Amino acid sequence: MRISTQQVSDLAKSSTTKTVQRRRHMHRYPELSFQEVQTSSWIGKELEALGIPYLAARGNYGLRAILDRGPGPIIALRADFDALPIQELNEVDFASTYPGVMHACGHDVHTSVLLTALEVLASLPGWSGKVIGIFQPGEEVNPGGAKTLIKEGFLENPRPGIILGEHINPQLEAGTVGFRPGLMMASADEINITIRGKGGHAASPHLTIDPIAIAAQTLVSLQQVVSRAANPETPSVLSFGKILGNGAMNVIPDTVEIAGTFRTVDESWRADALARISRLVTETARAFGAEADCRIDTGGYPVVRNDMDLTQRAKEGAIEYLGEQKVIDLPLVMWAEDFAYYAQVIPGCFYNLGVGNASRGWTSSLHSPTLMIDEVSLETGVGTMVWLTLRELGAT
């Protein structure tokens, strides 16, 4: 007997209370990338309580759960579970209890949805094959947990035929999902700059080599890498979110540290731009008598490219489950995700889960200290993931 959308919808709805509990637990106790000791342990206990076997990664805190119903398609589902170094400003009873750490990118949603999706799938008769749940640490910082888990064989023995993953989008209303075949997200590289000058009294700048003034000139000049060197048809972003001088009102420091990110969607231009950035940093500093190091992590994430056929099937499945008005065509965005690594190995589809609620003012962006999600979206997330999985298993 084939499984129906109504069966899945009923199970997703009846599981909502548990999904909310899981999400709120994670939100209260966030952990930074590659420090997710308690989070990983908690996920393992949840899987054990559900009777779902799993393997723990050797190199980090990842887990791979397996539902094995014998011969048939093999489907991987992925969720990440690290948090960000952000002080939460929401006044809710499940706010982060850890100062300066917050689930501000929705990874608490991703993991709670995957846990409940596996629970629902385990309860459903009528399908055969294997479903692999990949719970991944360290998505927020290079080199990313995905690369390590792939090296540890999380996509082998057995090898999935496809992989699905979701990411929350607060600009989409709760109850909706979004898809984009092909190129979906940009590459991302981390840029760390240290400018070394000569500190001294601010009233005697002629006796110093002012790294703050040089930093200002460097930041302005770097923007021309995008505005003048990039092809206008190639989306590119160069942003710096950290500058640290550690001087004072009347003290010019010896050094300034700057950190930022470069993102684009063209791998050839990516390499050229990074070389230009490094050269401009060192030569600008030298022109003012200073020295500079430009450290670029070449292990930055590649572009996220969804498999065309799989994504089309997933979109069609979402329309079956939610209705056409609830399925959105997504634009290209300059976010980055290490889901890209999985999609380089096997066909992948990374889609968005709407979590916003404009009527309640819950529209803060990702990585914001006021990010709030409408928890109605959890039911949508679970049901959609289960339905898309069953569809790929040939059980619908």
Give every strand in the sheet of 255-264, ordered side by side.
Answer: 236-244, 255-264, 189-196, 291-296
CB 129 within 8 A of CB 74: yes
Helices 107-123 and 5-14, interaxial angle, to 10°?
120
| Residue at token pair 């760390």 | 192
CA distance linking residue 389 with residue 393, whole number of Å: 6
CA 216 → CA 256, 276, 295, distances in Å?
10, 18, 18
Find the catalytic residue in 36, 80, 82, 166: 82
β-bridge partners, 195: 256, 292
Q: Which of 77, 24, 83 is nearest to 382 (CA)?
A: 77
CA distance linking residue 162 with residue 182, whole number of Å: 15
Structure tokens at 45: 């206990």
**Interstrand relation of 130-136 and 63-68 (parallel, antiparallel or unpaired):** antiparallel
CB 297 within 8 A of CB 189: yes
Find the catalytic residue in 80, 88, 108, 139: 139
CB 268 within 8 A of CB 303: no
Burial bucket for residue 315 (CB in 10 Å: 0-12, 13-18, 19+): buried
CB 284 within 8 A of CB 218: yes
What is residue 333's DSSP assignment? B
Burial bucket for residue 230 (CB in 10 Å: 0-12, 13-18, 19+): buried
CB 327 within 8 A of CB 336: no
Give every strand in the sheet of 327-329, ordered side by side.
Answer: 54-56, 63-68, 130-136, 74-80, 162-173, 348-356, 177-179, 327-329
Identify whether 257 is a catalytic site residue.
Answer: no
Identify whether 82 is a catalytic site residue.
Answer: yes
CA distance linking residue 60 with residue 379, whole number of Å: 30
- Catalytic residue numbers? 82, 139
